[in-house]
Amino acid sequence: MKIIFGSKNLLRAGCLAGMLSIAGAAALAQTGGKIPREVIDEASAHGTVLVLVGLKVPWQMESRLSEDEVRAQRDAIASIQKDLLSELKGRQYKVLRRYEQVPGIALEVGADVLAELARSEKVTNVLLDRPAVESEPASSEKVPPQLFKRAATAGTVLVLAGLRTPWQREDQLNEELLALQRKSILAAQSYVLKELSGTQFRVMRLYQRIPGIALRVGLDALQILEKSPAVTNVVPDRSPRSSP
């Protein structure tokens, strides 16, 4: 998800809208707060929907854990992912991503699987996901060339880095979904800061509500951001001191 909120079309899975079952639709109507309305509407309109499924397993940021605890936490996440997929056996779905560091799994599902997810005790919530690969112009660059030039000339530059994590407006989320989204944003921020270890950087702002982080970075840190799988884009930021 980019910080620049330009709208992009989701990948469509084909003309499957007519395949929604009556039983699946009825079950979805009773899902309560676990599955947002927009997820149900997307499945109803297009037959399938890309979702991020939150899983019920104890979790802490890996930076707070020992190596053994990190290993145990990742094993627990992998185990509950496997258990959930066992529950979905016989249903039509596609696994898009298995997360190691956060308790979740990204799936492409139809209404029948959404109904199963709503019933599952292993599932805490379901978020609308975005495709991992989006169509972008061939010339698009994660870090604009002028930022490299400014960093080389001035030594450091203020930037705003967009982070790769599913995102929705907070007024569309219940308390559980909001907490999961903020936790995912924090995990992405922590991942990027680990990558920047040993480079010249300073954290200016850690955002809670949008997937991004404001930094002052040197050329070495800017090169890390360019290559980071957790970063979607980097744009110039304004110095807070420039405001009247």
- Within a domain: residue 7? no
Specify the CATH number for the domain of residue 211.
Answer: 3.30.70.80
Same domain, 25 and 123: yes
Same domain, 155 and 74: no
Range of 74-88, 143-157, 184-198 with top mean pLDDT: 74-88
Same domain, 105 and 150: no
Same domain, 22 and 124: yes
- Within a domain: residue 135? no
* Mean pLDDT, the chain, whole residue set: 79
Quote the tokens at residue 6.
């330009």
Same domain, 230 and 182: yes
CB atoms within 10 A of CB 121: 7
- The per-residue pLDDT for 207 is 93
Is the confidence at residue 75, as pLDDT, over 80? Answer: yes
Same domain, 31 and 121: yes
Mean pLDDT over 71-99 rounds to 94
Same domain, 112 and 33: yes
Same domain, 118 and 154: no
Same domain, 36 and 101: yes
- Within a domain: residue 10? no
From CA 157, how far away is CA 144, in angstroms rounded? 12
Same domain, 178 and 210: yes
Same domain, 184 and 86: no
Helices 111-119, 37-46: inter-axial angle, 10-degree rounding: 150
> Of 128, 160, 194, which residue constitutes the final position of a domain?
128
- Within a domain: residue 9? no
Quote the tokens at residue 152.
């080389």
From CA 43, how far away is CA 47, in angstroms rounded? 5
> Of 128, 161, 193, which residue constitutes the final position of a domain?
128
> For the segment 15-68, what is each residue's pLDDT rounded down to a tens digit?
222 222 323 344 444 445 688 888 888 888 889 999 889 899 988 877 788 999
Sign of CA dihedral 6, 15, 48, 36: positive
- Within a domain: residue 98? yes
- The per-residue pLDDT for 2 is 39
% of the chain with per-residue pLDDT over 90: 41
- Within a domain: residue 76? yes
> Of 128, 153, 170, which residue constitutes the final position of a domain?
128
How many distinct structural domains can be found in the chain? 2
C-alpha 31 chain-centroid distance: 22
> For the segment 177-195, what is each residue's pLDDT rounded down to a tens digit?
788 888 889 988 999 999 9
What DSSP character marks residue 12?
Answer: P
Same domain, 157 and 238: yes
- Within a domain: residue 66? yes
Q: Which domain holds residue 207?
A: 145-242
- Within a domain: residue 190? yes
Residue 241's pLDDT band, with cuts at 50, 70 and 90, is low
